[in-house]
């Protein structure tokens, strides 16, 4: 169960996600999709009950719900992806890490645009930059919170094709969507939130 003050978001949820799943979470606004992701990410503890997670935080990539960067955001796509790997106090990357960055940019079809400033990219390109950053550590589990909301059809399927390819290469996917077509086309398992009894 997860409860905020007196508001119970969900009371009874029982599900499992296995390696290789393309696991979709659907439900109306306010049904607790993002809250459930926060539990899975261990940012939030359930009020009661437990989550059994067999992965470390480093093995999980996360693309949060829509973030809009200002048009004057100064970083290039490549610099933004690199940020994830830079460990203070050493602001440089190893040769292996540099290869990881190029692979993440290539998988998200951004190699030709890697030096573009993100603030000047389209919504779909920005979303692919966020995705590239989330996969640069080669996570076993990739979590995406409505990554295609507000994108046009072409940009939406560009993202989905990248995510599907990652899934086919063995990455487990947790995917929040409101889009029944995406659910049908890509999902292998679905959890419906906001139903009676939860
Ligand atoms: N930190 C919090 N404190 C209090 N209430 C919260 C908190 N986080 C979420 N809630 C409430 O819990 C409910 C579920 O919110 P959540 O954001 O998980 O829904 P959602 O299904 O992701 O919605 P949407 O589709 O609109 O993104 C909402 O009523 C929200 O107001």
In a domain, 153, yes or no: yes
d(CA 79, CA 69): 14
ipTM of the complex: 0.95
Name 8's Cβ contacts closer than 8 Å, sequence gap at least 6: 1, 2
In a domain, 197, yes or no: no
* CATH number of the domain residue 123 falls in: 3.40.50.300
Please provide the distance, in angstroms rounded to a whole number, between the alpha carbons at the two ends of the chain: 9
What global pTM score does this model have?
A: 0.92
107 CB under 6 A from ligand 1?
no
- Does 177 sit behind a cis peptide bond, omega within 30 degrees of 0 on the bond before it? no
190 CB under 6 A from ligand 1?
no
Q: Locate tokens 């998200």: which residue?
A: 108
Angle between helices 123-135 and 95-107 (to 10 degrees): 140
Domain with 7 in it? 2-192
27 CB under 6 A from ligand 1?
yes
Name 50's Cβ contacts closer than 8 Å, sequence gap at least 6: none
d(CA 109, CA 103): 10
Give the C-alpha distances (Å, rounded to integers) separating 141 from 12, 62, 122, 154: 24, 8, 26, 25
What is the greatest pairwise CA distance in the chain? 52
Residue 35 CA to ligand 1 center (angstroms) comes to 6
Residue 7 CA to ligand 1 center (angstroms) comes to 10
103 CB under 6 A from ligand 1?
no
d(CA 45, CA 126): 31
In a domain, 50, yes or no: yes
Which of ligand 1's atoms lies nearest the C-alpha of 193?
Answer: 21
Q: How many domains does the chain have?
A: 1
Query: In which band, very low, low, confident or very high, does the pLDDT at 36 lie, cut at 50, 70 and 90?
Result: very high
Q: What percent of the chain has pLDDT over 70?
A: 99
198 CB under 6 A from ligand 1?
no
Closest residue by Cα to atom 10, ligand 1, is 4
Residue 61 has pLDDT above 90, yes or no: yes
- In tens, the pLDDT along 77-113 reads 999 999 999 877 777 899 999 999 999 999 999 999 9
In a domain, 198, yes or no: no
d(CA 127, CA 168): 20
């Amino acid at each position: 169960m997860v409860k905020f003050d007196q508001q119970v978001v969900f009371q009874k949820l029982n599900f499992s996600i296995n390696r290789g799943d393309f696991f979709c979470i659907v439900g109306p606004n306010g049904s607790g999709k993002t809250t459930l992701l926060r539990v899975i990410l261990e940012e939030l503890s359930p009020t009661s009950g437990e989550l059994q997670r067999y992965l470390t935080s480093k093995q999980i990539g996360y693309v949060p719900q829509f973030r809009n960067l200002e048009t004057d955001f100064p970083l290039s796509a490549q610099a933004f992806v690199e940020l994830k790997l830079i460990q203070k106090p050493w602001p440089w990357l190893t040769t292996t890490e540099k290869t990881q960055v190029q692979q993440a940019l290539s998988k998200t079809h951004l190699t030709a645009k890697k030096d573009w400033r993100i603030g000047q990219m389209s919504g779909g390109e920005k979303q692919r930059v966020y995705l590239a950053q989330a996969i640069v550590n080669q996570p076993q589990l990739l979590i995406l919170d409505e990554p295609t909301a507000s994108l046009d059809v072409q940009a939406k399927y560009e993202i989905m094709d990248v995510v599907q390819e990652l899934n086919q290469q063995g990455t487990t996917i947790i995917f929040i969507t409101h889009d029944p077509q995406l659910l049908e086309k890509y999902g292998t398992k679905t959890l419906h939130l906001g139903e009676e009894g939860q």
